[in-house]
Amino acid sequence: MGKEKKYINIIVMGHVDSGKSTVCGHLFWKFGGIDKRTIDRFDREAAEVGKSLCKYSWILDRIKVERERGICIRIPPTRFETNAHYIEITDQLCDENSIKNLFIGTSQVDCALLIVSASSGEFEAGISREGQTREHILLASTVGIKQLIVIVNKMDTTNPSFSEVRFNEIKSDISIYLKRSDYQPETIPFVPLSGLRGDNMIEVSDHMPWYQGWSVDRQEGSVSGETLIEALGAIIPSQLPIEKPLRLPLQDIFHIDGVGTVPIGRIRSGILKPNMVVNFAPLYLTAQVNSIEMYHEAMTEALPGDNVGFSVQGVSVKELQRGFVCSDATNDPAQEAASFTAQIIILNHSGTICQGYTPIIDCHTAHIRCTFAELISKINRRSSKTIEDHPKFLEAGDCGLVKMIPTEPICVERFADYPSLGRFAVRDMRRTVAVGVIKDVEKRTFLSDTMANVITYNTINKDNK
């Protein structure tokens, strides 16, 4: 691959049946991700079970239960190449039980594609209080995604087909919630298209002569276009925090015969190299990196944004779990958080939140219960000025400063130091009830033990050599 092109990480969000897999699958097919023989086979197999409209979605929905239910359960990394970038898309499951997976995917991406359906009733279901469209917009803002593209899909199903009135109606409603989540609609492309037919995806559609294209104004300069691929080409790659110490939350861990323990995750900051001695927090396990791979290609180093698998020596697969954080054992190693202070915004909790409340916290790839040990203050959301000290409770719409104590070991960081490890969502009653950023962390100090382990480990390796 050429050095002139940059990698772009994208997440796809949207309500159930908005057409996420179809849009992504069609893009993957158009840019040579699969051959014609394979897409023809999907077409035949889908027609045989009465789902002839699913041939593109089956490119990503690969297991039987996904195809039967018509939703994506597993998150397969999908990469394709355009004239401007190498793009990696994660197709996200979007029911109310999968927000923790959404938080994993949005922890470090350059842009989010928000797909909404133009079909009658489907858009209304997604934008309703029980739908996922509003929640996904808010979560994208919470985890710090600055760039957004709104895709109005299924324009071929409106009444009449490719209706300008329907598109403008949806654009107006979505813009309201974008503003509430601190986005500026004038900086966001709105693209009407048909993921099934391909209208406005790669080439301008003849079915929407009324559509004059999108134009956005931003600090880097104005940019305009008409199609989805032009909007993708206008994405600005994020600045990579290479200079910071290594932080790599684990998403999965495997044991591979002949290789050993292989953790998988996306690097959030720093650089990972073979032969590096790493620390796994919060349990302070020390190991040596043997090799690193991305898409089955060996790497001499991995940078922020890379989704890698790396084999390690010194720990077993049973000792590691999702939510652990890998760091350089000799450069500001990650540590367990005994407690942390956070600024939170209560969204749609049905009652009041008091001291002792213990919901689930989704932070990077970790999902554990934390107790609201102290309500420090109620503050103004915009000015951050204190309104009330030590309030008895917080309720929907309030912003407050709270002290939280994890019920299980977890590694988190200050938002100011490591943004992707300092944002979290509060989950209760099968919905997101609050979001927050971590202001300060009280860490359990086992640094001396960790360094002793590193020295011992290096000494053993030298003796063995």
- 81 and 218 inside one domain: yes
Q: Which amino acid is at 334?
A: A
pLDDT of 375 strictly over 80: yes
Most confident of the following: 305-309, 339-343, 424-428 = 339-343
- Is the domain of 167 the same as that of 30? yes
Query: Which pair of tokens denotes residue 81?
Result: 């190449």
User: What secondary structure letter does DSSP report for 275?
Assistant: T
What is the domain extent for residue 117? Answer: 6-234
Query: Are 201 and 298 members of one domain?
Result: no
Q: What is the pLDDT of residues 281-303, one digit of tens each?
A: 999 899 999 999 987 889 999 99
Could you tell me if 412 and 337 are in contact, meaning their C-beta atoms sit under 8 angstroms apart?
Answer: yes
Lookup: tokens for 449: 């033990």
Query: Using CA atoms, how far apart are residues 400 and 375, in angstroms rounded to an integer?
Result: 7
> What pLDDT is stored for residue 95 in this prediction?
52
Q: What is the pLDDT of residues 16-37, one digit of tens each?
A: 888 888 888 888 888 877 778 8
**323 lies in the same domain as 361:** no
Stretch among 217-231, 246-260, 437-451 having the lowest mean pLDDT: 437-451
Q: How confident is the model at residue 331 (pLDDT cuts 50, 70, 90)?
A: very high
289 and 386 part of one domain: no
Torsion from C-alpha of 342, 347, 352, 356, nearest 10 degrees? -30
Beta carbons of 136 and 13 less than 8 angstroms apart: yes
At 453, list the tokens: 């382990």
Q: Which residue has the higher pLDDT, 423 or 357?
A: 357
pLDDT at 98: 53
- Which of 182, 205, 234 corresponds to the end of one domain? 234
Tell me whether residue 450 is in a domain: no
The tokens describing 299, both together, are: 């790497």
DSSP code for 195: T
| Structure confidence at residue 89 (pLDDT) | 75
Q: Which residue has the higher pLDDT, 311 or 55?
A: 311
Examine the fold and report which residue of 206, 234, 262 is the final residue of a domain before the chain moves on.
234
pLDDT at position 261: 94
| pLDDT tier at 77, thresholds 50, 70, 90 | low
- Fill in the amino acid letter for 94: C
Question: Which tokens go with 53?
Answer: 């409209």
At residue 449, the pLDDT reads 47
Residue-level pLDDT at 406: 96
* pLDDT (0 to 100) of residue 26: 83
426 forms beta bridges with 361, 434
Reply yes or no on whether the pLDDT at 458 is more than 50.
Answer: no
pLDDT tops 90 at residue 358: yes
Residues 161 and 99 in one domain: yes
pLDDT of res. 455: 42
Measured in residues, the chain has a length of 465
Question: Across the strands, what pairs with 260?
Answer: 256
The strand ranges marked E within 228-336 are 248-256, 260-266, 277-281, 285-294, 297-298, 307-313, 325-328
In the structure, what pLDDT confidence band is assigned to residue 3 with cuts at 50, 70 and 90? very low
Q: How confident is the model at residue 4 (pLDDT cuts 50, 70, 90)?
A: low
* Alpha-carbon distance values, 354 to 160, 181, 453 (Å): 51, 25, 42
Strands 285-294 and 307-313: antiparallel
- Token pair listed for 421: 């490890």
Residue with tokens 């063995």: 464
How much is the average pLDDT of 54-58?
Answer: 73
Q: What is the CATH number of the domain that holds 388?
A: 2.40.30.10
Q: Do 156 and 299 reside in the same domain of the chain?
A: no
Looking at residue 170, its pLDDT comes to 95
Average pLDDT, the chain: 84
Residue 59 tokens, joined: 């490119």
Same domain for 27 and 159, yes or no, is yes
Within a domain: residue 241? no
Residue 16 lies in a domain: yes
| Cα(19)–Cα(461) distance, integer angstroms | 53
Contacts of 333 (CB under 8 A, 6+ apart): 245, 279, 281, 327, 447, 450
- pLDDT tens digits for range 174-212: 999 999 888 999 899 999 999 888 899 999 999 999 999
Residue 452 domain-assigned? Answer: no
What does the buried/exposed string (b/e) look like for 107-145 if buried means 16 or more CB atoms within 10 Å of the residue's CB? bbbbbbbbbbbbbeebbebbbeeebbbbbbbbbbbbbbb
Residue 211 resides in a domain: yes
Distance CA 292, CA 310 (A): 4
Give domain status of residue 199, yes or no: yes
The answer to whether 98 and 12 have CB atoms below 8 angstroms apart is: no
The CATH number given to whatever domain includes residue 169 is 3.40.50.300
Query: Which of these, 348, 264, 11, lies nearest to 147 by C-alpha position?
Result: 11
Pair 281, 356 in one domain: no
Verify that 151 and 287 share a domain, yes or no.
no
Report how far residue 433's alpha carbon sits from residue 427's, in angstroms, rounded to the nearest whole number: 6
Residue of 25 and 402 predicted with greater confidence: 402
In a domain, 463, yes or no: no
The structural domain count of the chain equals 3
Q: Is pLDDT of 435 > 50?
A: yes
pLDDT-based confidence at residue 76 (cuts at 50, 70, 90): low
Side chain identity, residue 244: K
Q: Single out the residue in 328, 349, 371 at which a domain terminates.
A: 328
Same domain assignment for residues 211 and 287: no
pTM of the model: 0.70
In one-letter notation, the amino acid at residue 282 is P
Amino acid, single-letter form, for residue 17: D
d(CA 434, CA 92): 21
Q: What is the rounded distance in angstroms from the CA atom of residue 417 to the CA atom of residue 262?
A: 27
Say how far apart CA 326 and CA 25 lie, in whole Å: 33
Strands (E), 177-276: 190-192, 214-216, 223-225, 248-256, 260-266
Q: Is residue 280 part of a domain?
A: yes
Q: Are 306 and 266 in contact (CB under 8 A)?
A: yes
Both 131 and 213 in one domain: the answer is yes
Phi and psi torsions of 459, nearest 5°: -65, -45
- Tokens 């003849």 belong to which residue? 206
Segments of 380-457 assigned E as strands: 386-389, 394-395, 399-406, 423-428, 431-443
* pLDDT recorded at residue 99: 55
- What is the rounded radius of gyration, in angstroms, for the C-alpha atoms of the chain? 23
State the pLDDT at residue 348: 75
pLDDT tens column, 220-229: 788 999 999 9
pLDDT for res 313: 93
